Amino acid sequence: MIVFIRGLFRVLRFLYRKISYFFYYGSEPYTKWTELNEPDDNVLIQQREIVQLMVEKPFFSILLNLNNLMDRQQVTELIKSIIKQTYDEWELCVFCTGYEDVLGGIERLKVLTNVRHGDVYKELFLVANGRYIIVFDENMVLAPFALYELAIVVKKDSVVDFLYSDSDFLDSCGKRLNPHFKPCWSVDMLRSYNYISNFVVMERGVFEKSISFLGSKINYGFILYATENARKIIRIPKILYHLKTADMCSYDDGVIYLKEHLRRVALDGEVSHVSAGKYRISYKLNVLPLISIIIPNRDNGQMLKRCVESILQGSTYKNIEFLIIENGSRLDDTFRLYDKLRKISVVRLLEYKGKFNFSDINNYAVGYANGDVILFLNNDTQLIESGSLGEMLTYAVREDVGAVGCKLYYPDGTVQHGGIAVGICSVAGHLYKGMREGDKGALGLKVVCNVSAVTGACLMVRRKVFLSVGGFDSRLALSYNDVDICLKFIGNELINVWTPYGQFIHYESKSRGYDLWGAKRQRLIKESQYFKSKWKVFFEEGDPFYNPNLTKDREDLSLNL
């Protein structure tokens, strides 16, 4: 009955939000977002005044490769967008033939009309004086505040040597649509597709190292190589440029670039093309470590049986052991199941006699685990993708990785977990929760990416990494212990990975119920307050992998309005 009420409540809440969203913001919420969030004419005037008062202004060299095959109107719009910048410390270094009239009136202009050996950007770089090099294709226009925002960032932090920003598209009528609000630097997302796109800013040393990978246009290989050489990569969560929709489906040969990238960073994997501009890397395992699968359990024998059997019968990765942690069961059926499970060679049963505390139970179990890799797994999960354990393991064994999570579904096929963002839904929320993979805005469900946290319902980590941060926090007995440990990994300069190629069904909260009433509700509030206090700085600065232009009220990654 509780499950039915919960489901009905979710449907009613969804309908209410959709209806209220439409009536308040209309049918074009992105237009409303731009009105609320971007500088108006008065702010642009203020920016120009601030620039005049700046001391030691960063100088940018814009390198632009034009040719006489390009649309004149498009080139004209691009040049005008450069001239209209509110920041004035820049020069334009351009290779072109036939656009003299369009370029007229630009004070700091360097024009090349021929180059040796076809190396356009090398020639342009030789005449560029800026400490920071800006490169982009001709199929876009800049926001008038683009260089201003770049200057503010590099003036504040001189270590930054690679910058990128959010973007959107312009249709043939000049209407803005389809904003791309990006995460902070996410190496595994970049290895899935070129989310950075084709507008980048680099310190000239990084550009010089990477220039040999730059063809007549910005390509995936150039982005990959440049990020390998950058010391500090910064995302500016503002829309600094607009792409023409006619060019939005142009992709280069990412398979080749990714293979070269993996070779350079000493990672062994097979690269395959998934869809337009999207790729999958199947990393090779040089060793097959034992995975200790830890499953706390209290009664719900049939659920536990389904969980264990789904892995024993369905997983292609076989070097595993199960540690079933009994905690407070009372039903005879549960103990009869235990008797059967004891006969399976890879299953061990342990008893934790204290009151239920997710953190303490799992910390206790790790002390008995034989594996170098731990998979914390809820008893209300069911493996549905045979390669899930192996897929997660390929990331978990990487030295730069902390926790690894995967895609969890509700029984109805909607998404239960696509990673966790901190600071949404009051404390933390599951990304894409309740959505289907074909829904608008669900691109992130199809690519490997880095996230701040993954759910403890299915969390893989190397044993030594888990122990290095002291395990789960006992003060978080029930809630946010998984998010907490993931943030501790980040504090140790590790990254957390979410992969869509590992897949389970999660019959969420069937075992312990929901935290809606009474003592459970009070415990949730107490743990929420403790978690917020512990990670105060993180809440103040925002989740780096969750763009601040997205809503904090819901888990559907809609606009922050």
471, 469, 460: which is closest to 404 by C-alpha? 460
Task: Kindly provide the b/e burial profile for residues 478-506, where b requires at least 16 CB atoms within 10 angstroms of the residue's own CB.
Answer: bbbbbbbbbbbbbeeebbbbbbbbbbbbb
CA proximity to 294, closest of 193, 243, 365, 386: 365
**According to the model, what pLDDT value does residue 117 have?**
66
Strands (E) located in 284-394: 291-297, 320-326, 347-351, 373-377, 381-383
| CATH 3.90.550.10 at 38-275, yes or no | yes
In whole angstroms, give the CA distance from residue 471 to residue 545. Answer: 23
- Closest among 142, 115, 137, 130 to 203, alpha carbons compared: 130
CA distance readout (Å), 113 to 97, 98, 99, 116, 217: 6, 9, 10, 11, 17
Which segment, 85-99, 184-198, 243-257, is predicted with the most confidence on average? Answer: 184-198
Q: Are 38-275 and 291-407+451-513 equal in CATH topology?
A: yes
At 269-297, the pLDDT tens digits run: 999 999 889 999 999 999 999 999 999 99
pLDDT reading at 470 higher than 90: yes
Per-residue pLDDT reduced to its tens digit, 61-120: 999 998 766 788 888 999 999 999 999 999 999 998 777 788 887 888 999 988 776 789
Residue labelled with tokens 């209290």: 298
State residue 23's pLDDT score. 42
User: What pLDDT is attached to residue 248?
Assistant: 47
3-state secondary structure of 96: coil
**Domain boundaries defined on the chain:** 1-36, 38-275, 291-407+451-513
Q: What average pLDDT does range 119-128 have in this prediction?
A: 93
Alpha helices in 178-285 (DSSP H): 187-190, 204-210, 220-229, 254-264
The pTM score is: 0.92
Instruction: Name residue, tokens 């594996």.
Output: 371
Q: Is 266 helix (H, G, I), strand (E, B) or coil?
A: coil
The CATH number, out of the four listed (3.90.550.10, 3.40.630.30, 2.60.40.10, 3.40.190.10), of the domain defined by the range 291-407+451-513: 3.90.550.10
- Strands 458-462 and 373-377, by their bridges, are antiparallel
User: Within 13 Å of residue 177, how many CA atoms lie on the same side as its CB?
Assistant: 13
pLDDT at 13: 53
